[in-house]
Chain A
Amino acid sequence: MTIFLQSLISGILIGGVYALIGIGLTIIFGVMRVINFAHGDLLMVGMYGTFYLFTLFNIDPFISIVITMPLMFLYGGFLQKVFINRILGALPQNQILLTIGMGLIMSNGIMLAFTSDYKILSTDYSSSSFDILGISISTPLLISFAITAGITVVLYWFLLKTDTGQAIRATAQDREAAQLMGINVKRMSIIAFGLGASLAGTAGALISPTYYIFPQVGSTFTLKAFVITVLGGMGSIVGATLGGILIGVAESIGGVYFGSGWKEVVVFVLFLLVLLFKPSGLMGKSNT
């Protein structure tokens, strides 16, 4: 029982970060109907930013997100304005080519600049943990989960209560009607991609004390983000939140009970099972 609880809690903690990655991807998809295959690479850029802020300026990774978040937002907004806004009406395969290409340029650019060596961001709490009722909780994971929860709450508030947030949702629900309300949908797209990039970069920052940092680390996370988003229902933010936690828990429990080599299998079996019974995802609308 302790083992189960242990893996459940570890899963939830890491799932929070996954949720952040998935929410970013789902916002981008919701507003633009574009699947961002560079999502993991944005996360990777966030990791490198965090790593160098730490090694060069000695800024703690959890504090440096106040720098990474806005910078990644601007970077994402720039990518949207310069590249993605041009292909919004294009064929899906062209959109896929563009985002994959952007991802390749990011990972190879980073490789060129910083070599492909694995880097480790080691803080004095990187491997520290504490016990509650016999369950050991990793300090960095707990801190990152708390930050994730905070960001998610603020994000929900932004999307539900502010004019800009509502305009983003309106654009996602009916782009043409949004235009007829006087909403500048291109601007909403820039904000949406900025948000997505910012969330991906923040997730990268949050996991950097516990993950290896290397230029190709993004591809794993692009796949993960995709699974989370589809599992939750494309475009659904609540779905991505649930999906992230669920994938985190499945990985963690799978790793403990079947061995770490099998955890991906557990994740994908769960993924296929959900899609088998609810093809549109947990929170998806069946007719869209």
Chain B
Amino acid sequence: MLTIDKLNFSYGDLKVLWDINLEVHEGEIVTVVGANGAGKSTTLKNISRLVKPTSGSITFQGEDMEKLESHQVVERGIVQVPEGRKIFPEMTVLENLRMGSYIKSARKAREANVERVFGMFPRLKEREKQLGGTMSGGEQQMLAIARGLMTNPKLLLMDEPSLGLSPLFVKIIFEIIQEINRQGVTILLVEQNVFQSLKIAHRAYVLETGRVVLTGEGNDLLSNEHVKKAFLGM
């Protein structure tokens, strides 16, 4: 579905990604784990074309994304739930959701999708008139995910959805990710919570200082010695 081939990227003189190869198949949960600064978020930014690769190619459903602008990537069906939620702070919950279905193909299903995400996140329905900026971190994360689902994505990119959340919310968020996947959405998940994300992922990539150092099935990596030592403190 998504193929990243020899992706290189630099912020000015600072090279952040080195020959990244990554593959996501339809229906999977694929996770990219690694420490802070390993290049996980930068990889997602390259896919969403918020930044442009220095070299290498990204192909989605057979189409080279080289020439696409960010908004066209969304129209192709790749939606990112960004790090730090990035809720529109001065818009209500409902308005935030409406923005999620801004693209033409999602507008027709807007009302149905609002009902659907309210079903998944009853707490958002209770707060539909509240301003996004006044909600708690966990609620904002729910809103960010719900907003992403409003676009009817084929591939959902999630950047650190559990960051800064209480253990209870972390548990809820990971359950939701699995639920979304069961509904047929392919997921590329970037996480620092290595244990949780390896547990739910079909396949995983381990990133260290901008390079893919390990790849395999989620469960296999959980028992991998290097992963245990580097990330799980065992």
Contact = CB atoms under 8 A, between A and B. Distances in A.
Contacts of A185: 71
B103 interface: yes
B103 A177 contact: no
Contacts of A179: 48, 50, 70-71, 74
A135 to B, nearest CB: 38
A110 B151 CA distance: 48
B34 interface: no
Contacts of A173: 88-91
B82 A182 contact: no
A166 B99 contact: yes
Contact of B151 (A176, A178, A181, A184): A181
Given A179-B50, A181-B99, A182-B102, A166 B86 contact: no
B220 interface: no
B107 A163 contact: yes
Nearest to A185: B71
Interface string A43-66: 000000000000000000000000
A184 B88 CA distance: 16
A162 B69 CA distance: 24
B86 A167 contact: no
B71 A182 contact: yes
B161 to A, nearest CB: 14
Interface in A4-56: none
A183 interface: yes
Given A163-B107, A167-B99, A185-B71, A180 B80 contact: yes
B203 interface: no
Contacts of B23: none
Interface string A115-158: 00000000000000000000000000000000000000000000
Contacts of A186: 69
Interface in A158-194: 163, 166-167, 169-170, 173-174, 176-186
B221 interface: no
Contacts of A182: 71, 74-75, 102-103, 106, 151
Interface in B98-131: 98-100, 102-103, 106-107
B147 interface: yes
Interface of A is mostly: helix
Nearest to B105: A182
Interface string B7-38: 00000000000000000000000000000000
Size bracket of the B interface: 20 to 34
Contact of A170 (B82, B91, B106, B151): B91
Contacts, number: 67
A82 B25 CA distance: 41
Contacts of B79: 180
A167 B99 CA distance: 7
Nearest to A182: B74
Contact of A169 (B88, B147, B151): B88
Contacts of B139: none
A170 B71 contact: no
A173 B80 CA distance: 17
Contact of B91 (A166, A176, A180, A183): A166
Contacts of B98: 163, 166
B90 A166 contact: no
B199 to A, nearest CB: 27
B95 interface: yes
Given A170-B99, A182-B74, A183-B71, A176 B107 contact: no
B86 A184 contact: no
A147 to B, nearest CB: 28
Nearest to A180: B80
A180 B72 CA distance: 10
A186 B72 CA distance: 12
A50 to B, nearest CB: 35
Contact of A180 (B48, B89, B95): B48
24 contacts: A163-B98, A163-B102, A163-B107, A166-B91, A166-B99, A167-B99, A170-B91, A170-B102, A173-B88, A173-B91, A174-B88, A174-B89, A177-B82, A178-B99, A179-B70, A179-B71, A180-B74, A180-B80, A181-B74, A181-B100, A182-B103, A182-B106, A182-B151, A185-B71
Interface of A: 163, 166-167, 169-170, 173-174, 176-186
Given A169-B88, A181-B103, 4 more contacts: A170-B91, A170-B102, A179-B50, A182-B74
A-B pairs with lowest CB-CB distance, top 7: A182-B74, A177-B86, A182-B103, A179-B70, A184-B71, A173-B88, A182-B71
